[in-house]
């Protein structure tokens, strides 16, 4: 797609990069059926191709407009369109540039209420200690909350099981060590996930240590167009992660696929920075792994077989519906495709059939708060497809999807490592 940015953007690196990305789109429309918002509204403007045209128009006119803002706000950045595109279009990167362009243009300013909500999300949800404290207050008040509010606050992890301490971490004792990202909202909402990962990896001969000095990955601020703040956070994380690698950790592991996808992009995000930090960022990206990439299915299968033998019983297969987060199946697809499914099967789970596995659940970072109607509709459709074959649980790999689905699911929604952990150690 040929684009000629307005003369006023002649010196804009953002406009040049967007123009280069736009070249890959050949307007074929193969991406349309893959787009969750297009499937709901049926409007070309809510499709990848429509949004690409809106970004092209903004560049050619040299300014943002409310129509482009509305339809880019409705985009989940799920990147299903990238998986469907035969032409290698990097839509996610283009959408981020489009959003940054809109945020920089005062003429496309949002309503004060919307601006306030976006600011609160960027300032509160990205701060681990503050967010965790707010969740703990919500959990203390949970018994008295009305049902609608109660659904938003997860029960305390320790209250969900009386048989063992799901928050217990093993002591680091192995020569092989990896660091795990804590992120911003996961320690408050589901601290048992990283503890489960630490126990499973410990059993397989790897010590997991919490990367306490690495903060929010920066994705939340980046996706609401606060690019400067996001890059400052990325730089801090790169420096803190470098210390972990120098201290002997062989990988930076993420148990939230949304955060891992963004961390794998640090090298690209800082490619124009000073060469020393740009090089370090590229090394951090290369060392970042989703949890499913660091566990060998054969080793897990052996561990489950050994435990089954020691207990003298064969373990009952758990019937699980696998919900592949978009960040895993579209964002990290080349390195993670099929890996969680293989691990769940190795642990003895039976994966039930699901329909439309590539469609987004509607969580998408802050999307479920900023676009609640579309998010709810997508969740209803996703749950119908996941629950059709009556699983005992839904497994996912991202805290956002987990929380969003949990609030309306008839069966427990858990990170897949929690399911593996409960098979090994229950």
**Residues near 204 by Cβ (< 8 Å), separated by ≥ 6?**
295, 296, 299, 300, 303
Interface with ligand SF4 includes 2 (CB under 6 A)?
Answer: no
Q: Do 209 and 178 contact (CB within 8 A), yes or no?
A: yes
Interface with ligand SF4 includes 259 (CB under 6 A)?
Answer: no
Q: Which CB, 27 or 274, lies closer to ligand SF4?
A: 27
Interface with ligand SF4 includes 131 (CB under 6 A)?
Answer: no
Residue of 37, 261, 280, 354 that binds ligand SF4 (CB under 6 A) = 37
**What CA–CA distance (Å, rounded) separates 333 from 84?**
12
**What CA–CA distance (Å, rounded) separates 188 from 210?**
15
Residue of 51, 177, 379, 382 that binds ligand SF4 (CB under 6 A) = 51
Residue 86: Cβ within 10 Å count: 9
How far from chain centre, in Å, is Cα 69? 23
Q: Cβ of residue 326: shortest distance to ligand SF4, in angstroms?
A: 7
Buried/exposed 178-202: b ≥16 CB within 10 Å, e otherwise: bbbbbbbbbbbbbbbbbbbbbbbbb
DSSP states of 287-313: HEEEGGGTS-HHHHHHHHHHHHHHHTS
Interface with ligand SF4 includes 33 (CB under 6 A)?
Answer: no
**Residue tagged 């229950």 (tokens):** 426
Q: Cβ of residue 401: shortest distance to ligand SF4, in angstroms?
A: 14
Instruction: Give the count of residues interacting with ligand SF4 (CB under 6 A).
Output: 26
Q: Which CB, 45 or 251, lies closer to ligand SF4?
A: 45
Residue of 3, 77, 186, 366 that binds ligand SF4 (CB under 6 A) = 77
Interface with ligand SF4 includes 374 (CB under 6 A)?
Answer: no
Interface with ligand SF4 includes 28 (CB under 6 A)?
Answer: yes
DSSP states of 186-216: HHHH-THHHHHHHHHHHHTT-EEEEETT---
Interface with ligand SF4 includes 361 (CB under 6 A)?
Answer: no
Interface with ligand SF4 includes 191 (CB under 6 A)?
Answer: no
Interface with ligand SF4 includes 85 (CB under 6 A)?
Answer: yes
Q: Cβ of residue 49: shortest distance to ligand SF4, in angstroms?
A: 4
Alpha-helical (H) ranges within 270-408 are 275-287, 297-311, 326, 333-336, 339-346, 367-370, 372-387, 399-406
Please tell me whether residue 181 adopts helix, strand or coil conformation: strand
| Window contacting ligand SF4 (CB under 6 A); options: 31-39, 97-105, 132-140, 295-303 | 31-39
Q: Which CB, 280 or 332, lies closer to ligand SF4?
A: 332
Q: Cβ of residue 375: shortest distance to ligand SF4, in angstroms?
A: 12
Q: Cβ of residue 369: shortest distance to ligand SF4, in angstroms?
A: 16
Residue numbers at the binding site for ligand SF4 (CB under 6 A): 25-31, 34-37, 48-49, 51, 75-81, 84-85, 87, 89, 91
């Amino acid at each position: 797609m040929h684009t000629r940015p307005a003369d006023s953007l002649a010196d804009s690196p953002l406009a040049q990069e967007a123009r280069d990305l736009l070249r890959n789109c050949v307007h074929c429309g193969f991406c349309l059926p893959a787009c969750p918002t297009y499937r709901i509204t049926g409007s070309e403007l809510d499709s990848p191709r429509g949004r690409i045209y809106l970004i092209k128009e903004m560049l050619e006119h040299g300014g943002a407009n409310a129509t482009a803002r509305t339809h880019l706000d409705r985009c989940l950045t799920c990147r299903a369109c990238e998986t469907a595109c035969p032409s290698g279009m990097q839509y996610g990167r283009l959408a981020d540039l489009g959003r940054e362009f809109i945020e920089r243009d005062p003429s496309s300013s949002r309503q004060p209420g919307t601006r306030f909500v976006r600011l609160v999300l960027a300032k509160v949800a990205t701060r681990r200690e503050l967010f965790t404290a707010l969740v703990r207050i919500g959990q203390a008040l949970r018994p008295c909350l009305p049902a609608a509010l109660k659904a938003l606050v997860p029960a305390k992890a320790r209250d969900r099981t009386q048989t063992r301490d799901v928050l217990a971490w093993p002591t680091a004792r192995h020569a092989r060590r990896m660091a795990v990202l804590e992120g911003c909202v996961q320690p408050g909402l589901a601290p048992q996930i990283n503890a489960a990962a630490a126990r499973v990896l410990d059993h397989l001969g790897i010590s997991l240590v919490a990367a306490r000095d690495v903060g929010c990955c920066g994705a939340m601020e980046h996706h609401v167009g606060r690019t400067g703040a996001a890059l400052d956070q990325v730089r801090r994380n790169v420096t803190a992660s470098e210390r972990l690698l120098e201290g002997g950790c062989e990988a930076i592991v993420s148990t939230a696929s949304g955060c891992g996808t963004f961390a794998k992009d640090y090298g690209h995000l800082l490619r124009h920075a000073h060469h020393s930090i740009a090089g370090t960022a590229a090394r951090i990206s290369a060392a970042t792994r989703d949890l499913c990439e660091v566990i060998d299915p054969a080793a897990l299968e052996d561990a489950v077989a050994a435990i089954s033998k020691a207990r003298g019983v064969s373990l009952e297969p758990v019937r699980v519906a696998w919900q592949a987060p978009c960040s895993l199946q579209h964002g990290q697809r080349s390195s993670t495709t099929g890996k969680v499914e293989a691990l769940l099967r190795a642990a003895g789970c039976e994966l039930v059939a699901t329909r439309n596995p590539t469609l987004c659940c509607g969580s998408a970072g802050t999307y479920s708060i900023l676009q609640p109607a579309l998010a709810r509709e997508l969740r209803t459709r996703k749950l119908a497809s996941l629950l059709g074959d009556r699983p005992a649980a839904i497994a996912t790999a991202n805290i956002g999807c987990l929380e969003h689905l949990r609030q309306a699911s008839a069966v427990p929604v858990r990170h897949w490592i929690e399911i593996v952990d409960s098979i090994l150690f229950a």
